[in-house]
Structure 1
Amino acid sequence: MRAYIYSAIIAFGLFSIVNTEFGVIGTFIQITEKYQISASQTGMLVSLFALSIAIFGPFMTLLFSGFNKKRIMASVLGLFAIANLLSAAAPNFSVLLIVRILPAFLHPVYFSLAFVAAASFFPSGQKSKATAYVFTGGTVGMVLGVPFTSFIADQFSLEASFLFSAALNLIALIGLLIWVPSMPVTAKLSYRQQLGVLAKPQLWLNIATVCLTISAMFAVFSYFAEYLGQITKMSGKLISTMLILFGASGVLGNLEAGRLLSKHVVKTTLLYPAVLAVTYLIVFWGGSYFIPMMIIVVVWGFIHTGGFIINQNWLASEASEAPEFANSLFVSFSNLGIAIGTASGGQFLLHMGTHQIIWGGLMFLALAVTLMLAKIKWYGIRSI
């Protein structure tokens, strides 16, 4: 029972961190209005945050791999709480951008340690259950952080949404300090052993494909609120409701993706880009129709969120001998995908209009499928 409680606290901490990263997407409209900037500029809050994670993630994880896990995770939660408090008081967009980026350097450290820490509380035969349990916290943060913060920003204020995120960080920090036992490092892989997985060409093909797939997801999703406001003509309150529906269906989508992976890992991995591409075409053709778009949003959320666990499984399968480092690679390169996708989506929005951001997502999916087919040709389908 204690193992589940400890894991739940760690999972909540991951939820609070991921909520900070993605929740800001739901407040883009309020940020644009408050600081008098363009939608593409607002997207930098996501893209630069993600880029910081992508560049420094593996190095920071290696650097802190020899320290007490509880102390490191507590420090990360404290840093995120401070950053959110400063965001609420930011006098201009430049300051907001800086205080948003600062905690990003340690984001992948918590993410990587969370899985390893939770697994240490369970018997060896149940470690995969612990990993899935904690991953749910991150997934919920990804899909529900946006509607939560969007609702608070719309009902109260932009500042209140940042204070809400800070409160989540502080609750997770207190829970970690009070209930989770100390987790000193007793043995660890050398830096050379962990870095050794990077010599595998199959891993780099998986990394590139994951990066492109995540780019496809966020080239469109990062401008979800903008799309529903400009194309579907929804009000701010209704957009918040749509984000909640998107997130709720996304939780179910993640669970279904996990179930499908346990039974048909190759088929699920190969079919995901095609299913997401069809979803984007439906969004494009149905985006201007009010009632149909409500239904489409639910389907979109279900498909979108399943991509996280599918891509995590895909990358980790080629680095199972160094799981902590593999987790950091997934966090880094998925965030590189988020940065690339958000930035490219902003360019499509700026130069072609909001409706055309769909084509950016489809472009990245086509590139991802190309790499998938290349890996099948060179290493065989079982290598996926």
Structure 2
Amino acid sequence: MKKYAYIGGLGFLAVITTEFGVIGILPQVAHHYKISIDQAGYLLGAFALVIALTGPAMTLLLSGYDRKKVMLVAISLFLITGIISFLSPPFWLLLLVRILPAFLQPVYIATALAVSVSGADKARENELMSIVFSGVAIAMVSTVPLATWIASFSSWQFSFAVQAIVSTIALIAIYLGLPSMPVTERRSYGSALSILTRPVFIVSTAMNFFMITAWFATYGYFAEYLIKAKQMDEIMVSYMLLLFGIMGVVANWGAGKMLNKNVAATTAIFLSGTIIVPVLLHFSGADTISTWVVIALWGLFYSPSFLNASTYMISAAPDSLEFANSLATSFGNLGVTLGTAVGGWIIVTYGAEYSPWVTVIFGALAFTMMLLRRVLEQRVAAPSRNEGKVERV
């Protein structure tokens, strides 16, 4: 049902605003707390690591509860995080309150996706899922650059005020717009966990991990990279985030349509950006117009990455949508953790201009996993074709 998908997407907007809203203000946070940029990156990396380590377990544990209540509790935690963070507590406390909602982030996403496709035809599932994931693209064009822009002329704390406001709106929408949704049929833990024994699913999970790692090696330090490597000021960075987001909305819409036709091809097309964008960033130098063009392409290739990763993994386990998606979220966020860790280390050790080359390395690994899945699928299909030939004889 489209109404449920749009409400789920609004909640996803709040989730992404909280998780990625810090990207544009990391330099200011580092300066305020007198820490290095890679230490400030813990605000992003630790959040993602908690998701990676606890996501699937939390999703399984809460899979039997009323879906509306689960979504309300999850968004409430994001709201509390925004309020406390706005008060600029000590860094250890800021890090702690950032981590708390991470326990329920994958639960929210898996639940919102399940709600959006409930009662829908199989042919429309990818389209409805893309509506939920549009919250990512909309955040990139609205709340994330808005938070960075406000912080550029006021204070970084106001970035968290934006997050709190969006979470409040999402909370009201879920409370008023969704009916009570008790789970009538709960799958056993054993049947859900059985997908972990499937080689094709395991390889698809590795592809997701490497793809997100590739993107976040550079995107996790978007502001730091543009300031240090491209000599931009904070206001110009907010404009770059806006352009990035506009292209992301277009890309997310297009990816939803393309995934309905061919999941693997669509994923490969957008994954190619992990090779193309770093090369173009290198050759664009400090030229402003060239950089604008490359940022636009960056937003186009990057924005559907979470949608592509989830759909790609779910296509390997269509019988376990919620658990497969929770794993996609967890391993994607494990990629966020590794990407920001490696990217931050490269920036501190060698300089911001070298971080895009990490994207190329992990992007190549992601392509390798796609090729391996193709080989595995062909091996599975070969005996079936041979059996068919024997029968015809």
TM-score by length of 2: 0.92
Task: State how far apart, in whole Å, the 2-side matches of 1:281 and 1:253 are.
Answer: 20
Instruction: Output aligned runs, 1:356-371, within 5 Å.
Output: 356-371=354-369
Where does residue 100 of structure 1 map in the other structure? 98
CA contact (8 A) 1:19 1:145 kept: yes
Q: 2:299 aligns to what? A: 301
Deviations 1:193-219 (A, max 9, x none): 111111101111110111001100100
Question: Counterpart in 1 of 2:169?
Answer: 171
CA gap of 1:282–1:176, structure 2 versus 1, over 3 A, is same
Residue aligning to 1:373: 371
Partner of 2:389: none
Pairing 1:290–2:288 present: yes
SS of the residue 1:303 aligns to: helix
Counterpart of 1:320? 318
* Residue 182 (structure 1) aligned with residue 159 (structure 2): no
Structure 2 alignment gaps of length 5 or more: 382-393
Q: Which residue of 1 aligns with 2:207?
A: 209
In the TM superposition, what is the alpha-carbon distance from 1:136 to its structure 2 partner?
Answer: 1.4
Once the two structures are TM-superposed, the CA of residue 133 in structure 1 deviates from its matched residue by 1.9
- Equivalent position of 2:387 in the other structure: none
CA deviation profile, 1:23-66 (whole Å, cap 9, x unmatched): 11011122122111111111111111001000000000000001
How far did 1:91 drift?
A: 2.8
Q: What is the Cα deviation at residue 294 of structure 1?
A: 1.4
What letter is aligned with 1:183?
M
1:366 to 1:130, Cα distance in 2 relative to 1, 3 A: closer
Query: Does the 8 Å CA contact 1:22/1:145 hold for their aligned counterparts?
Result: no
1:222 equivalenced with 2:223 (yes/no):
no
Partner AA of 2:3 in structure 1: I
8 Å CA contact 1:231–1:355 kept in 2: the answer is yes
Shift of 1:262: 3.0
Identity %: 37
In the TM superposition, 1:32-111 aligns within 5 A as 32-111=30-109
Residue matched to 1:138 = 136
Amino acid at match of 1:310: N
Out of 309, 312, 320, the residue aligned to residue 311 of structure 1 is: 309
* Compared CA separation, residues 382 and 372, structure 1 to 2 (3 A): farther
**Residue in 2 aligned with 1:347?**
345
Residue 5 (structure 1) aligned with residue 42 (structure 2): no
- Superposition map of 1:249-268 within 5 A: 249-268=247-266
Name the structure 1 match of 2:20.
Answer: 22
Q: Distance in 1 between matches of 2:28 and 2:228?
A: 15
Q: Could you tell me how far 1:122 is from its partner in structure 2?
A: 4.5
Report the equivalent of 2:274: 276
Aligned length: 381
Q: Distance in 1 between matches of 2:285 and 2:71?
A: 41
- Does structure 2 retain, via aligned residues, the 8 Å contact 1:76–1:107? yes
CA distance in 2, matches of 1:143, 1:361: 23
Matched, 1:232 2:230: yes
Most deviating of 237-246 and 366-375: 366-375
Q: Alignment RMSD, CA only?
A: 1.9
Shift in CA distance, 8/255, structure 1 to aligned 2, threshold 3 Å? closer
Q: 1:124 to 1:315 in 2, by over 3 A?
A: closer
- Whole-Å Cα distance in 1 between the matches of residues 183 and 375 of structure 2? 42
Deviation at 1:126, TM superposition (A): 4.3
Deviation of the 1:381 alpha carbon: 9.2
Instruction: Tell me if structure 2 keeps the 8 A contact 1:85–1:166.
Output: yes
Q: 1:56 to 1:248 in 2, by over 3 A?
A: same
Distance 1:151 1:54, change over 3 A: same
Matched residue type, 1:130: L
Q: C-alpha distance in 2, partners of 1:334/1:316?
A: 13
Structure 1, 167-176 or 101-110: larger mean CA deviation: 167-176
Deviation, structure 1 residue 162: 0.6
In structure 2, relative to structure 1, the CA distance for the partners of 1:381 and 1:82 (3 Å cut) is: farther
**Mapped partners of 2:290, 2:379: distance in 1:** 38
- Note the alpha carbon deviations across 1:167-208, whole angstroms, 9 max, x for none: 111111122112321111111211111111111011111101
Q: Quick check: 1:20–1:145 contact (8 Å CA) kept in 2?
A: no
